[in-house]
Amino acid sequence: MKVVMLGATRGIGRSLARLLASGGTSIHVLGRNADDLVKCAEDLKVRGAAAVSSSLCDLMAPATFGPALDAADAALGGFDTVILSAGIFSTQDELANDRARAAAVLTTNFTNSILFCEEARVRLLARGGGRLVVFSSVAGERGRKPVVIYGATKAGLSAYLEGLDHLYRAQGLITTTVKPGFVRTSMTQNLKEPPFAGDPDDVARTILSAILRGAPVVYAPPMWALVMMVIRMLPRAVMRAVKF
């Protein structure tokens, strides 16, 4: 695999990048912080990556997407896999009281994530296909009190990725939507931990297995597939009454 990854410097993305590196994968990491990229690249080299390179790319700045992917193409001599694990999170209380933050979450997690995927899609299809792996969230499975705005961004992103998979899989573009549940990362460190919380390294192994199988959707930890199946079946009256 020749992988381009936006979001490899922290959280689940970092664990997944390290797992790929340990298998001898060639990786081009994208990010908005040059120092973080240098540290990430050095870490991946030590862990066994066949080759590591990097370039600047900011998910909040769509003008950077095309040039960053072109730089990755040149550095890797062509890529076959693009992974987007970046995004931003805020609690519902924060977003309900900060319009600027809400706009940033909505734009970054939905509009700009899709624009990044479109840049990747065009390049992958031009070479006969490949893998597009994008982190959404179980928060997008159902409208829920704690994640009204954040969940809406992930619901829209998941719908886009499902449509992309229907439209282009026959042409060789394998789209995998990653739907993490609660995972112990810096993003969730100040949140109350629910049952079935996962660790980044375990979750990364689940995700990589799904990528290699070409699965269209992966829940990680896997128990969240069952949890969300139940949540999807609950009547609205119940959803109004519960806090989950």
* Residues assigned a catalytic role: 150
Q: From 28, 149, 143, 14, select the one nearest 78 (Cα to Cα).
A: 28
The end-to-end CA distance of the chain, in Å, is 39
User: Is the peptide bond preceding residue 221 cis, with omega within 30 degrees of 0?
Assistant: yes
Unique residue bearing structure tokens 């992966």: 218
Instruction: Give CA 227 to chain center in angstroms.
Output: 20
In the Cβ-directed half-sphere of 58, how many Cα atoms lie within 13 Å?
7
Q: Which residues are 28's β-sheet partners?
A: 4, 53
In the Cβ-directed half-sphere of 66, how many Cα atoms lie within 13 Å?
2
